[in-house]
Chains A and B, each alone.
Chain A
Amino acid sequence: MNSNAWIISIGASLAAATPIVLAALGAILHERAGVLNLGVEGMMLIGAVAAFLAADAWGNVWLALLCGILAGGSLAIIHSLLAVTFRANQIVAGLALTIFGTGVAKYLGEPVNGVAISTSINEIKMPFVGNLPAVGRVLFQQDVLTYATWAAVILVSLYINRTRLGLALRAVGESPATADAQGISVARVRHVHVLLGGLFAGAGGAYQALARAPGWNQEATTNGIGWIALSLVVFATWRPGRALFGAFIFGFAIRSQFTFQAQGITIIPSLVLDILPYALTIIVLIVMSFGTARQRLGAPAALGMPFVRDER
C-alpha cells in the first residue's frame, strides 16, 4: 500500500468535487425558491465552452472564468423567463435548456476538440497549514476556486438560514402565497435565485475546462456533472453543508478508477467504477421521484409549482 498515493488521490477527489459543489449550490438556491431547473447540465456545458474559448483566445484564466459564469447566467435568464414569467412547465423548460446548452457547447467545441490550453487555475499551497502531514496535502494544496467554493458553501448556508433575505427565499419556496401576503415579491425572489443558480453552474462548468484538465474534450468535459449535482441536492436535503460532504463522496466515486488503479487494486472492474457516479445519481433521482419521499426529505413544498395569486 502506498499511503502517499492515497493522500494524493483523496486530494484529487476533493478537487473533483468542486464543480459538483458549485452547481449544487446554485441548484440549492433556485430550488429553495421553488424553481426546478433541469437545465443545470446545459448551463455547465455552456459555461465550460465559453470559459475554454475565452482562455484559448485571451490567455487569461480569470477572464475566462468570468465568461463561463456569465454564460451560465445568461442561459438561466431564459429559464427564469420561461418558468417564472410565463409559468411554463419547469421540467420541460429545464430539459429543453439542457438539450440547447449541450448542442451549443458541442457545436462550438467541435473545431477545438482535444485542444489543451496553456494557462489554468493552479493549485496553491497554503502557508503553514499546507505543510501539515497528510491533512496539508489533502486540504490545503488546492486551487483558488476550490477554496472559494468552500467559502461559498459557508456563505450560502449563512445566507439561507441567518438572513432576512434568506428567510424570504425559504418562504417563497415553501409557501409562495404566504410570502406574497407578507409583501414579498415571489417573482423577483425566483428570478434572482434562478440567475444565481446559473452563475454558479457556469462557474462549475468553467472549472471543468480551466482547472482539472485544462482544455476541451467533446466527450469528457462536464460529462453529466450537472445531473450529478441535481441529485446531490436531494441527497443533501437542500442544505449546502451536506452538499459539500456529498460532493466529496461523488468526487471519490469519479476518481475511484484512478485511485484504485494507482493502488493496484483490480478486484473491481474499471467499468463498474466508471459508472459508479451515474449509478449513484440514478438511485437518488428514483428516490426523489416519489412524492412522499420528497416530502420526508424536506424538499421545498412549492418546488416546481408556478405561483399564481389566488383569485378564484
Chain B
Amino acid sequence: MNHQNEVRPGESPGAPVLRATGITKRFPGVLAVDNVDFELRAGEVHTLLGENGAGKSTLASVLCGAYQPEAGAVYRNGEAVILNSPHDGLTHGIAMVHQHFRLVERFTVSENIVLGDPSIGQFLNRNEVDAAVAAVGEQFGLPIDPTAYIYDLAVGQRQRVEIVKALYRNADVLLLDEPTAVLTPTETEALFVTVRAMTKAGKSVVFISHKLGEVAEISDRVTVMRAGRVTASVEKTQLDRHELAHLMVGRSTETDAQRYASNPPGEPALVASEVSLVTGGRTVLKNIDLAVNAGEVVGVVGVSGNGQRELADVLAGLAETTRGSVTIAGVPLSHVGAKRARKLGLAFIPEERVGTGLAPSLSITENLLLTRSRPTFISLRTTRQEARELIDEFEVKAPGPNAACRVLSGGNAQKVLVARELKGDGTPPAVVIAAAPTRGLDIGAIEQVRGLLHDARERGAGVLLISEDLDEVLSMADRIVVLYDGGITLEQSRPYEDRSAIGRAMAGIA
C-alpha cells in the first residue's frame, strides 16, 4: 500500500460533506478501485487526478450511486448512506456529470432538466418550467435557452445543461467527469468561472482530470490515483506540477523485468513520414515522423486520447492518411488497406480486442482461421488442433476450441488474439503493432504477452508498442516517443534517465 496522507488537520475550514472509506469496486477481470478513501469538504474543488484506467471515474460513479461497491462505505454529512442508483445519489444532493451526457436529444433543455422532478405537478406548464430553468441558469452564470432542443446544441452547451440539471435538483455535491475533455479552451475558461461560482455558493465539486495545467488552476485539493489506488492527497498550497506528474505515472520500474533487444536493429520495417490525419474537421495526428527498425521495440507513450488509436489505425492500414505516407518493408500502404498490410507481414493487436481483434461470436478455432491464407476448403480439424495447443500453452480459460470468443474474459481473449497475431501459421511477422496489449490482464498473462512481443523482436520483427502503462513501455522499448495532442513531443532512447521529462511531456508541460 502506498497511502500518503499529506492533509494536515485544521488546514481547510470546510467540514466533510461527502466521505468514502475503503471503497473497492471490481469488474470482471479488473480491480478498478482498490480500498480507496476519499473526502470532500464543503465549498472545495477536490480533483481526482490520474491516467486513464486509474479508477477515477469508477470511484466517482460509486460516489454518485451509479455503481455499487463490493466493499466500503459512503458518508453524507457524517451519516452513512447507501446509494443504489444515481437517483438515490440525487436525493442526497449528489449529482454526476458524465463524460457521455445523460440527455434526451429530442427534448428541449427544460424538458431534460425537469425530467423526473415530481414537484412540477401532473401537467407540464412549459412557460413556468422554462422560467424556473432559466432562473437557475442565471443564478450561477450559466445562461441557457430553455426552449432549445439538445440536438441543436454544441457539446459545451450540453455540458452546461447537465450542470444546470444538477443545480435545478438542488445538488450540492457535483462530480464532473473529465469535463474539459470535450471543451475548447474558451469553453474551459467559462466552465472554471462556473465552478468558482458554485463553490462560492457553498457547493462542493469533485473534478476529474488528467490534465495537470488545469488541475493546478482549479483545485483546492488533489487526490492522485494510480492503478485503482490513491497514491497521494495534496493541498493546493503544496501543489507542484512536477511532483504530480511523478505521482501520476509512478516512480519505479523495478517491478517490471527489463527486456531489451539483444542485437542491434536492422533495416527500417515500418516507416511513417510526415503523417497527418484530419477526421471530422479535427486534426488528430500532426506531422508524425516515426521509423521502427527490424529487431527493435519502439514505444509510444501518452495519456489516452492524444492520437494513439488513430496512429495505430493509420499504421495498420485501417485508415487513410490525410497527408504523408506509411510504408511497410518499403512498400507504401496508401490505397491498399488492411489485407495488403497483412501480406507484407503486419501483425496488429488492436486496443479493442473483441470486436476489432476477434469476431465475438466465432469460435477460437474460427478466429485463428481468420488471418490464415485460406484455400477454398478449410481444414477445421488441423486448426482446431492448433487452437487446443494454444489453449494449453497459454492456459486460456475456455471450455474448448469451439468456445465463442465473446464468452472469454478480457485477459483470455487477449491471449488468443496475441497468440494468433504473433505465432501465426509459422511465418514470423515483419512488423507488430500492439496497442495496450496487456491492459486488464493478470500478472501471469502480462508476462506471457510481453514474452511473445519480445520473441517477435528477437526473430527480427519491428515492434511498435502503444501503451498508457509507462512502466511497461520503459521495460521493453529500445526507444520511446511521447504522443501529445496528436504530435510527437519527445523522443528518448534507453537507458531512460530523465523520467520526469517523460511525465512532463505526457502532461503537455513544455
Contact = CB atoms under 8 A, between A and B. Distances in A.
Interface of A: 161-168, 170-171, 174-175, 177-184, 298, 301, 310-312
B90 A183 contact: yes
Interface string B117-133: 11011111000000000
A274 B123 CA distance: 44
Contacts of A311: 67
B124 A163 contact: yes
Contacts of A183: 85, 87, 90-91, 116
Interface stretch (B105-113, B304-312, B329-337): B105-113
B107 A162 contact: no
A165 B90 CA distance: 20
Interface of B: 27, 66-67, 85-87, 90-91, 102-107, 111-112, 114-118, 120-124
A181 B61 CA distance: 12
Most buried by B among A171, A182, A312: A182
A22 B91 CA distance: 40
22 contacts: A164-B118, A164-B121, A164-B122, A170-B107, A171-B115, A174-B104, A174-B105, A174-B106, A174-B107, A175-B103, A175-B105, A178-B102, A180-B85, A180-B87, A181-B66, A182-B86, A182-B117, A183-B85, A184-B115, A298-B106, A301-B105, A311-B67
A167 B106 CA distance: 11
B120 A164 contact: yes
Contacts of B121: 164
B87 A167 contact: no
Interface of B is mostly: loop
Q: Which 6 A-B pairs have the closest CB atoms?
A: A182-B116, A183-B87, A181-B86, A178-B102, A175-B104, A174-B104
B106 A164 contact: no
Given A174-B106, A183-B90, 7 more contacts: A168-B116, A170-B107, A178-B103, A181-B66, A181-B102, A182-B86, A301-B105
Most buried by B among A179, A181, A298: A181
Contacts of A301: 105-106
Contacts of A164: 118, 120-124
Nearest to B96: A181
A170 B106 CA distance: 9
Nearest to B111: A167
Contact of B87 (A174, A182, A298): A182
B227 to A, nearest CB: 18
Contact of B102 (A166, A170, A177, A298): A177
Contact of B124 (A166, A178, A181, A184): A166
Contacts of B112: 178
A311 B103 CA distance: 19
A311 to B, nearest CB: 7
A298 B104 CA distance: 13
A184 B112 CA distance: 13
A163 B126 CA distance: 10
Contact of A178 (B91, B104, B123): B104
Given A174-B107, A178-B115, A184-B115, A165 B122 contact: yes
Given A164-B124, A177-B102, A312-B27, A184 B107 contact: no
Contacts of B90: 182-183
A157 to B, nearest CB: 13
Nearest to B65: A181
B102 A167 contact: no
B106 A162 contact: no
Contacts of B87: 180-183
Given A171-B107, A174-B107, A181-B102, A163 B116 contact: no
A182 B116 CA distance: 5
A170 B107 CA distance: 9
A177 B102 CA distance: 7
A166 B102 CA distance: 19
Contacts of B105: 174-175, 301
Nearest to B95: A181
B416 to A, nearest CB: 21
Nearest to B88: A183
Nearest to A176: B104
Given A170-B104, A171-B104, A312-B27, A179 B116 contact: yes
A310 B58 CA distance: 13
Most buried by A among B85, B102, B116: B116
Given A181-B87, A181-B102, A301-B105, A168 B115 contact: yes
Contacts of A162: 123-124
